[in-house]
Structure 1
Amino acid sequence: MRLLIAAGGTGGHIYPGMTIAQVWQARHPDGEVLFVGTARGLEKDIIPRSGWPLRLIRSAPLSRRPSWKTLRSLGLAALGLGDSIRVLRDFRPDLVVGTGGYAAGPVLAAAILQGLPTLIQEQNAFPGLTNRLLSRFAGAVALGYAEAAKHLSPRARIFVTGNPVRPEIVARERDEALHHLGLQGDKTVLLVLGASQGARTINNAMIQVFSAFLPRRDLLVIHQTGKDDYERVRGELEKLTAGGPKGDGTVYGNIWVLPYIHDMPEVLACTDLVVARAGAISIAELTARGLPCILVPFPFAAENHQEKNARVLEREGAGVVILDQELTGPSLLVTVEELLADKARLQRMAANSRRLGRPRAAWDIVDLLDSLL
């Protein structure tokens, strides 16, 4: 049996595809998996490094405003459709999955035209344009958020599965993770994240509140700055206290700054409260662990989908939303301190987050794939 997965652009599209592939391969050990992406996105590095085969096609985002770029995008889309037809002819998949990115549209369209079983995996509360257009023709649409259904074709075969998260996200035990990281279990752990590239607004707010967090012996702050902003943030902490090396980062008293967290499952297992952007897969991982969140949606996400994702958690009592333009050091400090001081509220938020989590989403999606055959 052969599974083709079109995924690319950002980690938010790539990692769900790889998680689906991992679970599908475990169920079908003799099966073959092929990824399809473009040379524009992170997939050209991430997917081969993870051991999965990858074919590249030509494609580009469709401009929503008519211009010469629209003509160029349409031309590349036509070329991408031709590339996709050739990939399908060569690989001859039994199933085709699209998890988003520039490659997903042409590949799904080609597969639908050839009558192949197809599944769209939509991560966000507001679906992307390609998925809205193709949803009526796909064999199934697996949603990360039930709210997305109202934006899709009424003819779409919709299943609310949640977003797939890596099995190791849920499998890590807190005590084991604390021991491995050399941390004590007597402190509350605040994890501060942007996306993998960091979030400058969040970093700026944190710089303003480092002096308030440093004296707290009951608190440990783990702050992923992003690679581009690491030296700047570290330099600001150096002005307040001396630091020393720890792992890939630097520890300053009770504040540990890192450019990038390579073992996110381990760090999440230790965490009590998270400050983060509102990408769909980040939220899926946080809710799978039952973590309360302070969410700062990326304001330039397509069709503002990050705020829509974040509002779901806010409405369900699992998160607090601070808009990017409203985030300051004082506003962040007040929110963090209010939550840490109200243990009962923090526990309710954790319970609500856990209720929203779908740790078995990848298995449910693979069940859905098998049902298409």
Structure 2
Amino acid sequence: MRVVLTGGGTGGHIYPALAIGREISEREPGSSLLYIGTSRGLEGRIVPEQGIAFENITITGFRRSLSLENVKTVMRFLKGVSRSKELLRKFKPDVVIGTGGYVCGPVVYAASRLGIPTLIHEQNVLPGLTNKFLSRYVDGVAVSFKESEPHFSKCRNVVYAGNPCATRVLKADRRSGFSSLGFAPDTPFVLIVGGSGGARALNEAFVRMLPLIGKLPDVHFVFVTGERFYRETESAVSAAFQGNSSRVKVLPYIAGMPDVLAASSLYVGRAGASFLAEVTSLGLPSLIVPSPNVTNNHQEANARSLMNAGAADMILERNLSGETLFGGIAAIMGDWKRQQAMASASRSLGMPESASIIYNQIVGLQRKK
């Protein structure tokens, strides 16, 4: 199969595209993949590192208020469509898959005009502007959350497929997770992650809750700060425990995140769609602090979806403090029956077969064409 993948700006759009590409390559060895993105987005660095051919177009997103810049964006979109058509005619794909972010707008639209089968994947409960626009032209839509379906009423082929990033944790190794952290097997620990770039509010709340963790004497804490916050957070933790912080491990990042997630007792952090897909695929209870600094406040909608199912608790950032963070953790880690009930609810939401569902939807689109 010859496949064009597109989507970018953030890892939340890029990693689902790569997961779909990986599933296609495993199902159909010898498939050819081309990723079309922008050099300004993270995809310009991440995709080539995966050994996938990469082509660049120039495009910017629309501003939500009236602006002269939007006129320039329209012109860039039209040029992006023209450039995309050139790339598509040259590559001759069997299907074009968009996973959100403004870069996929001209690419997927160009493909639809050329009669190439097209599919978009929406990661969040509340769709982004680009996917809402493209839904009028594409042949199929895959959604991560059931609640997203009504937003795509203009497209007949809408499939509740989950997030393909959930599939990558199927091979996660719990033992490797414990070992990588230097913990004995089955050590109960809370994994706190502020996202790929870290989150200052979560970092500050974590430091302020340190004097309280003695109330959970058997629980360890693993805090992933992000590179930019690592030094200051690690120093604060070391000072709080006079260098003897055996139950608290501070890391700038974790390379083998699926293994560590699989070993965790509780996830605490943001409500990025791809991360939540992995968490529910593994059946982890969660304490979510959604970022308020995202388009359309979509992380809060993601978090509420899990909370309404009984799989997560939520603290809004405006209510976040050392006390509320510890209180939320203690309410789950201090109640074994509740922890297990949340884990069961989380597992019921997980869709580890997501990539396979999307692959089958793609195959169906090709047959219809």
Common fold: TM-score over 0.5: yes
SS at match of 1:30: coil
Separation of aligned partners in 2, 1:166 and 1:354: 11
Counterpart CA distance in 2 for 1:278 and 1:150 is 21
The answer to whether the 8 Å contact 2:200/2:229 transfers is: yes
TM-superposed CA distance for 1:213, in Å, is 2.1
Contact 1:214 1:254 in 2 (8 A): no
- For 2:260, which of 241, 264, 267 is the aligned residue? 267
Output the CA distance in 1 between the equivalents of 2:353 and 2:52: 22
Counterpart code for 1:212: L
1:144-163 correspondence runs (5 A): 144-163=144-163
Q: TM-score, normalised by structure 2?
A: 0.96
Cα distance in 1 for partners of 2:331, 2:166 equals 32
- Residue 166 (structure 1) shift: 5.6
Supply the distance in 2 between the matched residues of 1:5 and 1:295 (Cα, whole angstroms). Answer: 30
Contact 2:138-2:155 at 8 Å conserved across structures:
no
Tell me if the contact between 2:118 and 2:138 (Cα under 8 Å) persists in the aligned partners: yes
How many angstroms does 1:300 deviate by? 1.6
Return the letter of the residue paired with 2:187.
Answer: K
> Cα 1:360–1:203, aligned 2, differ >3 Å: closer, same or farther?
same
Does residue 303 in structure 1 map to residue 296 in structure 2? yes
Q: Which amino acid aligns with 1:151?
A: H
What is the DSSP-based 3-state SS (H/G/I as helix, E as strand, rest coil) of the residue aligned with 2:126?
Answer: coil
Deviation at 1:240, TM superposition (A): 1.7
Cα distance in 2 between the residues matched to 1:16 and 1:167 = 10
- Tell me the distance in 1 between the aligned counterparts of 2:213 and 2:64: 44
Deviation at 1:76, TM superposition (A): 1.4
In the alignment, residue 325 of structure 2 is paired with which amino acid?
A: L
> What is the CA distance between 1:132 and its match in structure 2?
1.2
How do 1:107-122 and structure 2 match up within 5 A? 107-122=107-122
**Which of 344, 360, 364 is residue 353 of structure 2 equivalent to?**
360
Measured in 2, the distance between the counterparts of 1:255 and 1:347 equals 24
Give 1:175 deviation, angstroms.
3.0
The equivalent of 1:287 in structure 2 is: 280
SS at match of 2:267: strand
Q: Please, which runs of 5 or more residues in structure 2 have no aligned partner?
A: none
Q: Which runs of 4+ in 1 moved over 3 A?
A: 153-156, 214-217
Displacement after TM superposition at 1:269 (Å):
1.4
Whole-angstrom CA distance in 2 between matches of 1:177 and 1:233 = 22
What CA distance in whole angstroms lies between the structure 2 residues aligned with 1:152 and 1:229? 39
> Aligned-pair distance for 1:129?
1.2
Q: Which amino acid aligns with 1:27?
A: R
**One-letter amino acid of the structure 2 residue matched with residue 356 of structure 1:** L
Residues 142, 47 of structure 1: alpha-carbon distance in 2 compared, 3 angstrom cutoff: same
Amino acid paired to 1:171? K
Q: Residues of 1 paired with 2:361 and 2:152: CA distance?
A: 19
* Residue 252 (structure 1) shift: 2.9
Letter of the 1:207 counterpart: V
Report the alpha carbon displacement of residue 214 of structure 1 after superposing the two structures with TM.
5.6
Q: Does 1:347 align with 2:347?
A: no
Task: State the SS of the aligned residue for 2:165.
Answer: coil
Is contact 2:291–2:299 with CA below 8 Å preserved after alignment? yes
Letter in 1 for 2:99: T
> Displacement, 1:151?
1.5
Alpha-carbon contact 1:132-1:153 (below 8 Å) kept: no
Once the 2 structures are TM-superposed, how far is the Cα of residue 167 of structure 1 from its aligned partner?
Answer: 4.0
Asked if 1:90 corresponds to 2:90, the answer is: yes
Q: Distance in 2 between matches of 1:86 and 1:155?
A: 27
Change (3 A) 1:39 1:214: farther
The 3 A distance-change label for structure 1 pair 262 and 186 is: closer
Match in the other structure for 1:205 = 205
The number of aligned residues is 366
Partners of 1:193 and 1:365 lie apart in 2 by 28
Is 1:331 the equivalent of 2:324? yes
| Contact 2:101 2:130 survives alignment (8 Å) | no
- Superposition deviation, residue 217 in structure 1: 4.1
* 1:247 equivalent in structure 2: none
Kindly report the root-mean-square deviation, in angstroms, between the aligned alpha carbons of the 2 structures: 1.5
In 1, distance between residues paired with 2:126 and 2:59? 22
Q: Would the aligned equivalents of 1:58 and 1:80 in 2 still touch at CA under 8 Å?
A: yes
What is the Cα deviation at residue 215 of structure 1?
7.4
TM-score by length of 1: 0.95
Q: Distance in 2 between matches of 1:186 and 1:157?
A: 44
Question: Distance between the aligned counterparts of 2:179 and 2:37, measured in 1?
Answer: 39
Tell me by how many angstroms 1:164 deviates. Answer: 0.6
More deviation in 311-320 or 142-151?
142-151
Structure 1 residue aligned with 2:223: 223
Shift of 1:182: 2.6
SS for the counterpart of 2:62 is coil
Letter in 2 for 1:317: G
Alpha-carbon offset, residue 197 of structure 1: 0.2
Partner of 1:318: 311
Cα distance in 2, alignment partners of residues 207 and 165 from structure 1 = 31
Task: Give unmatched runs, 5+ long, in structure 1.
Answer: 244-250
Q: Distance in 1 between matches of 2:221 and 2:145?
A: 30
Deviation at 1:10, TM superposition (A): 0.5
1:161/1:364 contact within 8 Å kept: yes
237, 245, 257: which one aligns with 1:252 = 245
| Cα shift at 1:168 | 4.0
Identity of aligned residues (%): 38
State the partner residue of 1:248.
none
CA distance in 2, matches of 1:90, 1:158: 29
Alpha-carbon contact 1:214-1:255 (below 8 Å) kept: no
Query: 3-state SS of the aligned residue for 1:252?
Result: coil
Structure 1 residues 24-45: Cα deviation after superposition (integer angstroms, max 9, x where no partner): 0011112101011001210011
